[in-house]
Amino acid sequence: MIEKLQELKDIKSLIQSTDSEMVRCQELDHVVVEGEKLPIFSFEIGSQDPSSPVLGLFGGIHGLERVGTHVVISYLQSLLRQLKWDKDLKEQLKTSRIISIPLINPGGMAMHRRSNPNGVDLMRNAPVEAQDENKNSFLLSGHRYTNKLPWYRGKEGAAMEKEAAIVVDYVKEHMFEAQTSLSVDFHSGFGMVDRFWYPYAKSIGNFPNLSEVLSLKDLIDDTLHHHIYKIEPQSQSYTTHGDLWDFIYDEHMQLNPNKEKLFLPFTLEMGSWNWVRKNPKQIFSALGMFNPMIEHRFERTMRRHWPLIDFLFKATRNSFWKEQSSNIV
């Protein structure tokens, strides 16, 4: 039996509570697991001008990493409640946007799997090959042996899985036309610290917008003095085949070879080993390796990342750091 997802109930409740004309919700598609339809929902909040600056928030691409979806839902709940009374926020959202898919992989989450119901790791599923073999890790970097093992990429030459294709199409529709677009994909399960990863995952080589990322990093360090993030390229930890955000970023670059528009996808990898260290018993639960299981740690995690999200939303609307990037490497 699959689990009845509280996360989907929370998303539906969020949709039902929405009464602002500035908020648009839609069911992008659905997956069917054991005869049950599990929808994939999105939110668009603010301007309907596709060229307006936009922040994208994404979660739940790995079914075991529920905390990512929880952080996104929690932030959206606060944002929509704030819209009921905050006139300044309403003014900001007339010329900017926040968009979101809070739960990309409901089938995997319902089945207590990292992968989707087909056994495919959606973050290893894009048609991208890692370029630095010495940084690849056996299995972890993605493989095509069998879907019985984690990190399975899918069959060679097959189309991307439905969930991955939904994210690609959604980002292309809602972010590619913006002059400035930043996205954060929320994950957990690697290390003791929270890592804020930027591209590439496929290669240790510099990527085309490195100067913009370093300028934004400087601004984060200067503005959020006591932040807890280790800001680095994902490839500094390991490289992977099939990274979804590498693929989307390269698609954007093909359309903008002269960098007229800026799209920077980040991954927030919450260091779940710290939760396990503080509560070793949770290692015996499949969810315990990836999520805070004690209530006060869960609540702390929900509010821990709001300053970063607010900062990034402001950064999309201000050009200072982009102008400064010309003075960096």
Q: Is residue 245 part of a domain?
A: yes
pTM for the predicted model, two decimal places: 0.96
Please state the domain count of the chain: 1
Q: Dig out the tokens for 12 from the structure.
A: 């539906």
Range of the domain at 77: 6-327
For residue 172, give the CATH number of its domain. 3.40.630.10
Other beta carbons within 10 angstroms of residue 64's beta carbon come to 23
**Taking Cα atoms as reference points, which of 234, 231, 201, 205 lies closest to residue 218?**
231
Question: Would 153 be classed as within a structural domain?
Answer: yes
Residue 262 belongs to what H/E stretch?
strand 262-270
Is position 165 within any domain?
A: yes
Tokens standing for 69? 């979806």
What gap in Å lies between CA 64 and CA 13, rounded to an integer?
Answer: 22
Determine the Cα angle at 31 with ends 166 and 285, to 5°: 100
In a domain, 270, yes or no: yes
18 vs 24: CA distance, rounded Å: 9
Residue 261 inside a domain? The answer is yes
pLDDT (tens place) for every residue of the chain, 329 residues total: 567 899 999 999 999 998 889 999 999 999 999 999 999 999 999 999 999 999 999 999 999 999 999 999 999 999 999 999 999 999 999 999 999 999 999 999 999 999 999 999 999 999 999 987 777 888 999 999 999 999 999 999 999 999 999 999 999 999 999 999 999 999 998 788 999 999 999 999 889 999 999 999 999 999 999 999 999 999 998 999 999 999 999 999 999 988 899 999 999 999 877 878 888 888 877 787 888 888 988 899 999 999 999 999 999 999 889 887 766 65
Residue 1 is assigned to a structural domain of this protein? no
HSE at residue 36, side-chain half, CA atoms within 13 A, is 15
